[in-house]
Structure 1
Amino acid sequence: MDTSIQPSAEKLTISKWCHAAITEISCQERGTMLAPSSTLTLEQGWQKTGAMESLQNLKKFNNQDFSHLRALCLSQGLLFEDDTFPAHVNSIGPNLLPKDKLHQIQWKRPTELQRNPYLIMDGVSRFDIMQGEIGDCWMLAALGSLTLQKQFLENVLPKDQGFQDNYAGIFHFRFWQYGDWVDVVIDDRLPFLNGRYLSVHPRTSNEFWPSLLEKAYAKLRGSYQNLHGGYLSDALVDLTGGVQVQFSLKDPPPDLEEILKAAAKSQCLMGCSTSGQLRRNIELKNGIVQGHAYTITGTVKIPYKNGWKHIIRIWNPWGHGEWKGPWSDGSPQWDRVEPKCREDLLRNKDDGEFWMSCENFQEQFSWLYICNSTPTFLNFGDQHGTTWSVDRHISLWSPALATGRNNYSPGAVSTNPQYFFKVPDYDPKTYNVVISLMQKHAEDMQDAKNLKIGFFITMKDSKVLKQIFSLTRDVTSYFLLSPGTYAVVPTTTEDQEFEFLLRIFMKNHDYNETSNVPPSPELPMDVPRQNQDRSYKAVFLRYAGQDSAIDASQLQQLLNEVFLQDEMTSLGGRFSFDSCRGILALMDLNSNGQLTLQEFGILWRSLTKYMDIFIMEDRNHSGFLDVSELKSAIQTAGLAADEQLLRLMVLRYGDAARRIGFTDFVCCMLRLETMTYAFQNLAGGRSQILVTAKEWLTLVMYT
């Protein structure tokens, strides 16, 4: 096509352009004249919505099947040797120890160390754990908290293994990684240096679950070296699949005590850490270790003197080394506590666990970490009948979408992937939204450094309400948002492509006061979205032909069978062949009448976005949008339409009652979006463009 600008070409403003485009018969998204780099969203991904992930979709790390491998070893009379994480210095890591010590490491099985080893003896306890030479207190602190919450522990530590029955030198453990539970298989060869455990060692000599679980986590992270220093927040999420929130104790929230009380009541995992990264593992005179992670194992208010005292119980993963100040073991404060209460709470042993006051806790520690399946720890003051729902989005960041804090502008938000949610009501006394953004490293880059990531929260008018950035794997924050429609915009300052997981947790105040049994605050509310919890890749491959592409007929079948919800089919109709042919034309960058996987991924992203908006704006659940709701939907999508354009859209896509059903809404919005960005692409920032007759005819006849 001749793309030169001719003096005789017709001059078009963006208003005329969109008016003309909306009245065209075909319905589609992006024109063939647009290069891929000019599309609004380059992201390709899928969305998962509903309850937390179960173990039914368990992934096998390195494609290793525990049951199959164990059966094979038993049939051959062999002990398993894991070639993917061998008994070699590569599994340790090149920089954990000096080279001479690395080559002194010996690998021994528990059966070589003990005549009668056990995986677990008398249950699992935090007191089974004693940190070794590796600086993985951050992981062990999370593990210590995990032992207190059996509902999570059973996910991580499968029961179908041990040294007594069907022993073949093979074990497996499960961890949550970026939206999926992953089963990690290991052999039981453990590293020793000069006759001592290099890694965590059990307090009981013939109990091995801590050492083997730590080895599985080291394999998941790439090496033992990659456990030497890390974030307690990461480990809490990896062991639960939940959401963690961290609170600064140097600038604590005013309701810190209420948060701690609610966290303990709702069975959260809790941990804390001290500052001093440059003075790591330095023990102060008061017994507190600098640059160290601890587990919070309890919090309680007890009668003391003429009032009440809030005290916190904390455990050191070293397995020894305790606080020596007020409320420590043997401190005089315990003499003023009732004997029965003192007997219930005080464990006077050098086992690493101690009590301290809430005031001393805030003075000595820097950060508090709380984790659960949903943010039940933010339910304080509202424990009665509150549930949380979660929307999950797994997508791909593209360098073209990376818009960091330093170069942010309101217009840039619209070119980043946006995820909409609506707050229908709220209690001004408690937080009601938690947003968690997690970056995913490539599988062959387990030791990669974290990129600086974050997100904006915007209103419909693109006004930025909040912006959060951090150089951590997981950026999570909690908010109190008034009713309205919001968009979350993930961003990064890096010009690099990688995958991310976004989770939006929302509190629901839908408890029926006449019911005698309130809903459990532990479980998230399931939001049924059958079309959303499938990978778009799997959907594409199911309908694609042998040439790995889909035509208009296949697209029609796909959209009607997979994408439409039942109520949308009955009220707003199905996708027609003509509408699907028009949609395909816009996505068909090669002008060959078919969609590739990449082109379909872009379409799927837009379709899911417009389904979210349609459901959100259909306030009376009629299955249609009226004129005012359509106008609101256009604004939510970050687009613009004046009254004249709005009237044309209703005439073109609405029924006799001036209502628009879902399928017509999708066609309308895709076309509006396409023509808006096509104009902006051609205009290059100007308010007018010149097009030739050939360019105009190419647009209206195929795109």
Structure 2
Amino acid sequence: MLAPSSAPGATGSLQKVKKLNSQDFRELRALCLSQGLLFEDATFPAHSSSIGARLLPQEELWQIQWRRPTELQRNPHLIMDGVSRFDIMQGEIGDCWMLAALGSLTLRKQFLENVLPKDQGFQEDYAGIFHFRFWQYGEWVDVVIDDRLPTINGRFLFVHPRTSNEFWPSLLEKAYAKLRGSYQNLNGGYLSDALVDLTGGVQVQFSLRDPPPDLEEILKAADRSGCLMGCSTPGQARRNIELRNGIVQGHAYTITGAVKIPYRNGWKHIIRIWNPWGHGEWKGPWSDNSRQWDRVEPKYRDALLRNKDDGEFWMSCENFQKQFSWLYICNSTPAFLDFGDEHCSAWSLTSYTNLWSPDLPRRRSHSSSGAASTNPQYFFKVLDHDPNTYNVAISLMQKHAEDERNLKIGFFITKENSRVLKQIFFRTRDVTSYLTLSPGTYAVVPAAAEEQEFQFLLRIFIKNQDYNETPNSLTSPGLPMDVPRENQDSSYKALFLKYANQDSTIDALQLQQLLNEVILKDEMTSLGGRFSFDSCRSILALMDLNSNGRLTLQEFGNLWRCLTKYMDIFSREDRNRSGFLDVAELKSAIQAAGLASDARLLRLLALRYGDAGGRLGFSDFVCCMLRLDTLSHAFQNLAKGGSQILMTAMEWLTLVMYT
């Protein structure tokens, strides 16, 4: 009746995804390759039934031709030069809600790799078959498709890539259409649903007609902590009326950035937004050609402004609230609720699946409604409490066929058999509430306002629980880029426990996984490449006080503080936001770290740690700085304030060969 959602190794987890229609991608591809055939998917055929009967006029349905990319282009690719939101251009279907979520997904590599597996393409083992993964009601589902795409007169009917021979957007859209039953079922939907389907996360919605007073801080914190974000405009979802100011009514957009920049002797909060059409932009203040940019320092203007008709634009926070109606934020845990907190907190998760039925008898209750159903109640404990922050998030999701309407569902919350503390009901797929609860035992009672049974997934997120008592403990992935690093030390314990062995240590392989999944989730730090296994062995050796090839929690804490410091320095010195430091910027970075260097040492560091042009990406910069810092302090300790040290050859070799 109850089980943690997507437990490691369980069916439906990322380690063992559930197969839609029992189709196994590798087995089907191997069979096609052995027979010299291209895959044809009988469960989502190249037929008008996959389009849907009401999406297009009948005469257009008859004109559709299903063409493979190899028939449309001489040299097709799944991905070219990485995955980007600018690869996407919406077609004739009204699935901006899904594409806006997809545009945000391209910015968050830790989620993107879950959805878009790397074991496929047109160059090797091509058999006309592809697969993508989506999260559905507590499980990751692998969706297999063939690559026949609907066209009319050689023109894509639905989403099409900006680069003619790059096909990941079209194929991913087809897989999502198959998951939902047809392309027609993508014609209008909820951005919040798509954000959850692409992440398995929890989402929050803010009405911009009555926005929270700290909206600007919420946006910046969500951007820093790696959340997916989107927004929508008021109006009928399928009308797509473009106003004179460039904003489309009844349309979903992606939020791709939120920053505060110096402007007119003060500071200005601006938000970057992307239109899934791939064109069509805001024409007001802070748009591409607006005069506001003339008063911004060149280093900020050059880093932020992209003057192209690519659908992306900047807007002030004030105009954002006027032009848009809803803001959506989603992450794997509700870490975006910590925007007013000086720490990055861990959240535990417990999930339950069950059936709610109106036919179960009702009994007398102490609740305000006077009676309660004997449908199941779910209990949880709150251990920590801060009246100024949220500490519990509850998400209830209903499961139904795509052609069924959403029921009005919700839940009651009671404390230790007392009266109902809160009740919340909405006619949406996912009802989520965020609470500040004092320590104690609580019960959640799912329910429906209508006399109709439904299957549900209930998820309860609790903040700051004891890590040793919560085996399903999750942490917010990522290190916020603009929060003072000295305030982030509390987050390292949760990360350490997530990746550590049973003996509570981390080896080089686990350190590599942690650094690549957590530190390099940010787009800027990832540009310079991933942490290699050898570099992680070197980093570990520098921090390994016990010389046993493993890091304890204390040693990892020292490394974490170094990493946060280096991220600050790297972010400040990379003034053109290229993701690399040149020799001049490296010199400034070393000085900012309080270390000494000269021209010869700088040249050697650029040769040892830089690329062919002498530039250092973030992973190489970390290795360089850790070694320089460690050996500089080792010299100072051995020299005891002097400028020379005396040591044996073996002492010298022991120092330099292991570190």
TM-score (norm: length of structure 1): 0.65
Q: Does 1:379 align with 2:335?
A: no
Residue 490 (structure 2) aligned to one of 518, 541, 550: 518
Residue 63 of structure 2 aligns to a residue whose secondary structure is: coil
2:26 to 43, 47, 67: 67
Question: Is the Cα–Cα contact under 8 Å of residues 402 and 491 in structure 1 kept in the other structure?
Answer: no
Determine helix, strand or coil for the equivalent of 2:450. coil
1:460-492 C-alpha deviation (Å, 9 max, x unpaired): 244122211111111112112222222111110
* Secondary structure in structure 2 of the residue aligned to 1:152: helix
1:616-642 Cα offsets, whole Å, 9 max, x none, are xxxxxxxxxxxxxxxxxxxxxxxxxxx
Q: Deviations over 1:509-541 (max 9, x none)?
A: 669999995335997988xxxxxxxxxxxxxxx
Q: In the alignment, is the contact (CA less than 8 A) between 2:105 and 2:228 conserved in 1?
A: yes
SS in 1 for 2:101: helix
**How many angstroms apart in 1 are the aligned matches of 2:145 and 2:456?**
28
- Map 1:455-466; keep pairs closer than 5 Å: 455-466=411-422
Find the residue that maps to 2:173 and give its secondary structure.
Answer: helix
**Fraction of identical pairs, as percent:** 78
Deviation at 1:427, TM superposition (A): 1.5
> What one-letter code is carried by the residue in structure 1 that aligns with 2:169?
P
What is residue 439 of structure 2 aligned with on the other side? 483
Structure 1 residue 417: Cα displacement: 1.7
The equivalent position to 2:252 in structure 1, one of 293, 301, 310, is 293
- Local SS of the residue matching 1:502: strand
| Higher mean C-alpha displacement, 461-470 vs 471-480 | 461-470
Shift of residue 258 of structure 1? 2.0
The separation in 1 between residues aligned to 2:413 and 2:219, in whole angstroms, is 27
- CA RMSD in angstroms comes to 2.4
In the superposition, relative to structure 1, how do residues 412 and 56 fare at CA in structure 2: closer, same or farther (>3 Å)? Answer: farther
How far off is 1:51 after superposition?
A: 6.8
Q: Distance in 2 between matches of 1:326 and 1:491?
A: 46
SS in 1 for 2:398: strand
SS at match of 1:260: helix
> For residue 139 of structure 2, what is the aligned residue in structure 1?
180
Amino acid aligned to 2:455: E
Which structure 1 segments of 5+ residues have no match? 1-44, 527-703
Per the alignment, residue 77 of structure 1 pairs with 36
Whether the 8 Å CA contact 1:262–1:376 is kept in 2: the answer is no
Identify the match of residue 2 of structure 2 among 46, 54, 61: 46
- Using a 3 Å threshold, how does the CA distance of structure 1 residues 522 and 357 change in structure 2: closer, same or farther? farther
Q: After superposing the two structures, state which structure 1 stretch, 391-400 or 181-190, moved more.
A: 391-400
Q: CA deviation at 1:61?
A: 0.3
Q: Aligned letter for 1:460?
A: E
Aligned 1:94-493 pairs, distance under 5 A = 94-277=53-236, 280-401=239-360, 410-413=369-372, 415-441=374-400, 445-493=401-449
Say whether the 8 Å CA contact 1:266–1:521 is kept in structure 2.
Answer: no
What letter matches 1:388 in structure 2?
Answer: W
Question: Are residues 523 and 320 of structure 1, via their aligned partners in 2, closer, same or farther at CA, if it must alter by over 3 Å?
Answer: farther
Distance change (3 Å), C-alpha of 1:283 and 1:402: farther
- Contact 1:452/1:470 (<8 A) preserved: yes
1:317 maps to a residue whose letter is P
Per-residue CA deviation, residues 635-674 of structure 1 (Å, 9 max, x unaligned), is xxxxxxxxxxxxxxxxxxxxxxxxxxxxxxxxxxxxxxxx
> Which residue is 2:625 aligned to?
none
Amino acid at match of 1:203: R
CA distance in 1, matches of 2:208, 2:257: 17
Give me the TM-score of the superposition, normalised by structure 2. Answer: 0.69
Gaps of 5+ in 2: 469-484, 499-659
Q: Which has the higher contact order (CA 8 A, sep 6+)?
A: 1
What is the CA-CA distance between 1:59 and the residue it aligns to?
0.4
1:631 matched to which residue of 2?
none
CA spacing shift, 1:100–1:236, aligned 2, 3 Å: same
Aligned residue number for residue 91 of structure 1: 50
Q: Given the superposition, is the C-alpha separation of residues 108 and 465 from structure 1 closer, same or farther in structure 2, using an over 3 Å criterion? A: same
Distance in 1, matches of 2:62 and 2:37, equals 26
Shift of 1:193: 2.4
The residue type equivalent to 1:175 in the other structure is F
**Cα deviation digits, residues 217-274 of structure 1 (max 9, x gap):** 0000000000000000000000000101111111111222221121111100000001
Of the three residues 461, 468, 475, the one matched with 1:505 is 461
Q: Retained in 1: the 8 A contact 2:232–2:253?
A: yes
Distance change >3 Å, CA 313–CA 125, structure 1 → 2: same
